[in-house]
Amino acid sequence: MSENKIPYKIYLEESEMPKAWYNVRADMKNKPAPLLNPGTLKPMTAQELGAVFCDELVQQELDNDTPYIPIPQEILDFYKMYRPSPLVRAYCLEEKLQTPAKIYYKFEGNNTSGSHKLNSAIAQAYYAKNQGLKGVTTETGAGQWGTALSMACAYLGLDCKVYMVKCSYEQKPFRREVMRTYGASVTPSPSMTTEIGRKILEQHPGTTGSLGCAISEAVEAATSNPGYRYVLGSVLNQVLLHQSIIGLESKAAMDKYGVVPDIIIGCAGGGSNLGGLISPFMGQMLRGERNYRFIAVEPASCPSLTRGKFVYDFCDTGMVTPLAKMYTLGSNFIPSANHAGGLRYHGMSPVLSQLYHDGYLEATSVEQTSVFAAAEQFARVEGILPAPESSHAIKVAIDEALKCKETGEEKTILFGLTGTGYFDMYAYEKFNNGEMSDYIPSDEEIMAGLRQIPHFPGNEI
């Protein structure tokens, strides 16, 4: 049986690592809609985008046609520092579940940023450095993106200014200190360092901040400081391009052992991990070569795909960014407390939104306590303490494996394990103490968010 030969962990050799990112847009018949200038409602030009983003990244953002984009040698070298990530055969979980399903997961947590975010952080930092810039600015909520960007900038000797949502800055001092250890300057947002920050503090003196406000400050800091650009860790087309490394490695590792997944599962906040994981498999499906089931898992508390609308909306709550066509709950939708900070985003990657709209992708939502129960079950047999975000995928992977147990089907399941939960122990503590609760927004709450979406001809909810 060749099955017996599959190791617990498959590591590609350095020579087998992908040398180019895969751009799934090239194989999409319906391309993702372009970003619009909210003033003119016309597609953002390269020049307009170039005021905020690096030139090379603007090209990648707008390129819907080139299927493979070579990874620069410097980025390949950095990838070798922490990649390939292991593709793990979850033998122990399978045995625990007594399922005939074969479960694999691609584990992206074995680097200090603790997640897949580093794959795009190094790319964005590299292009900024290459353009001769002094530094980059960004916002961070849960902190994984900020940590990843700090690491990448430290490696390249690039300045890194992180606006961290004030309540996270105060509640997650350890995340903040990791970023400082990597030399980043971390500012609690809203702050007195920007015009928009001062304005918000004047209007709301006691505010603990929001991601939308932090985005606004980071954008202002980039555009008002010569030699700086703004970078973003999810949602954008360029981010999904860089994250395709996850799927490309997964596919190469599976191909090496003649394994083909039936179901591919990923958690979905802005879509960076899910989009990267499924890209090369989705490419096959779009080209009519093979069928897969793709499942996006989102929190019931922030269900953009399952309860949102596919319309143009702002990417931030401050409404200063371009408009993106995506599944959205409205840029002012405030999800209730959910510890998976990385999944608390009102919108979804335009690429994934289009694929979902066109029926290539399924979506489901799960509740928090069931997610932590799955996380604990997984941790106890697979030895990895998963991030709450990642655990959304674990929950649905276990559910699918248990369905196989009922039907006797030997399906092959692949899911993305995006990161570790070391900085989420407060949430685990609440779960361990039985103090965690679920929350599903009412239809009225959802409608209140949707009503904030900008109205213009062709953009009715």
Q: Which spans of this chain sit near its own copies (rule: CB under 8 A)?
A: 7-9, 11, 13-14, 80-82, 92, 110-112, 114, 118, 151, 154-155, 173-174, 177-178, 180-183, 376, 379-385, 420, 422-423, 425-426, 428-429, 432
Residue among 48 and 159 whose Cβ is closer to its own copies: 159
Give 179 or 285: the residue with its C-beta nearer to its own copies.
179
Q: Find the shortest distance in angstroms from Cβ 458 to its own copies.
A: 46
Quote the least distance from Cβ 92 to its own copies, whole Å: 6
Which residue, 33 or 154, has its beta carbon nearer to its own copies?
154
> To the nearest whole angstrom, how small is the minimum distance from the Cβ of residue 452 to its own copies?
37
Compare residues 92 and 320 and give the one whose CB is closer to its own copies.
92
Closest C-alpha among 85, 153, 119, 168 to residue 342: 168
How far apart are CB 174 and its own copies at their closest, in Å? 4
Cβ 84 to its own copies, closest distance in Å? 9
Least distance (Å) from its own copies to the CB of residue 429?
4
Nearest approach in angstroms of CB 176 to its own copies is 8
* Nearer CB in complex with its own copies: 32/86: 86
